Structure 1
Amino acid sequence: MAQITFITGGQRSGKSSFAQKQAEESSAAPVYLATARIWDEDFHQRVKRHQSDRDEQWTTIEEEIEISKHDLSGKTVLLDCITLWLTNIFYENKNDVNASLEIAKQEWDKFINQDMKLFVVSNELGMGVHPENELARKFADLQGWMNQYIASSANEVFLMVSGIPVQVKGISNDD
């Protein structure tokens, strides 16, 4: 079973940087599991920025949906991110929240059934402005429910606030 550290927070809160630092401190050869689907040029530039933050010690695997199909046993893995992974599942399931949530939970359960050290990045969508359209509200619900599901299986949970990690679950390293 995976040892899971779940890192969530708002946009540009420092989630990915914190997760990357934690993974690099845990392993000389971490794996970056990228879930992004490139939708437009702006997003392509965001992906390139993330790629430039990683050096040659990293192995990158790109996987939009089937995260469990990769054998990552014995590895330190940074999955970035749940929001993009859920977007891909939601899109493939024609924006059906219930079907998407069921598929995501099943895939997550298969994925974490490996012996790995896992750092997971996600977004807290429900802490901002209430979405004005139905599709956005449905996705925010999906994201919130999946975050709860992942956090329940995590050993540690951090909420990033303005670049500062606030531990909300797990044993603190402070004595």
Structure 2
Amino acid sequence: MIYYITGGERSGKSSYAQNLALSFSQTPKYVATSRIWGEDHRKRIDRHIADRDERWTSIEEEKELASVINKNDVVVIDCVTLWLTNFYVDTKNDVEKSLDLAKYEFEKLLEINATIIIISNEIGMGVHAQTEIGRKFTELQGWMNQYIAKNADRATLMVSGIPLKLK
């Protein structure tokens, strides 16, 4: 079962996803996709880790998400934006190649009999990116969000801490 949770920054996505995971299992996994981009970013990650108690197993995996998910796991993947950033940087900002690689990795998740809760961001609803690289990434994010949502069993949009059921 794939649950897709999307929304803007600080919309309540992570807490909603964590509560959903805990409703399915008392020993869920938390898969963090982020590379450490700086001290502020490290502090943000540390805050997220501190928000979770001893029931959680935290795993860091930058790209190959299926490699850390087992049958019957309950997993929160946080988040698509940072996961895509890893592909985007590694392909030297090649949108098409990044999208192909991300779709390939996502399709592996569809083969696992697990409860997978995927968090993403609706960055296209925010401020228009000032750089070409930023605008291209926004397109990449939008296309991958559509692909995940299409293949998800459930989709939720978070707005101001309120979950809105999309599908």
| Common fold by TM > 0.5 | yes
SS in structure 1 of the partner of residue 113 of structure 2: coil
Distance 1:98 1:141 in 2: 10
Match of 2:83 in 1: 85
Please tell me whether the aligned partners of residues 6 and 157 of structure 2 are also in contact (alpha carbons under 8 angstroms): yes
Amino acid at match of 1:54: R
- Tell me: CA distance 1:93–1:156, structure 2 relative to 1, closer, same or farther (3 Å): same
Superposition TM-score, scaled by structure 1 size = 0.93
SS in structure 1 of the partner of residue 130 of structure 2: coil
Amino acid at match of 2:50: S
Shift of 1:71: 3.9
Match of 1:114 in 2: 112
Asked if 1:62 is matched to 2:34, the reply is no
RMSD: 0.7
Q: Structure 2: where are the runs of 5+ without partners?
A: none
Flag as ranges the 4+ runs of structure 1 deviating above 6 A.
Answer: none
Match of 1:160 in 2: 158
Distance 2:22 2:127 in 1: 34
Match of 1:99 in 2: 97
Superposed, 1:20-99 pairs within 5 Å as: 20-99=18-97
**Identity, % of aligned positions:** 53
Q: Structure 1: where are the runs of 5+ without partners?
A: 170-175
Match of 1:142 in 2: 140
SS in structure 2 of the partner of residue 123 of structure 1: coil
Number of paired residues? Answer: 167
Shift of 1:68: 1.9
Shift of 1:60: 1.1
Distance 1:104 1:36 in 2: 15
Residue deviations 1:122-141 (CA, integer Å, cap 9, x gap): 00011112111100000000
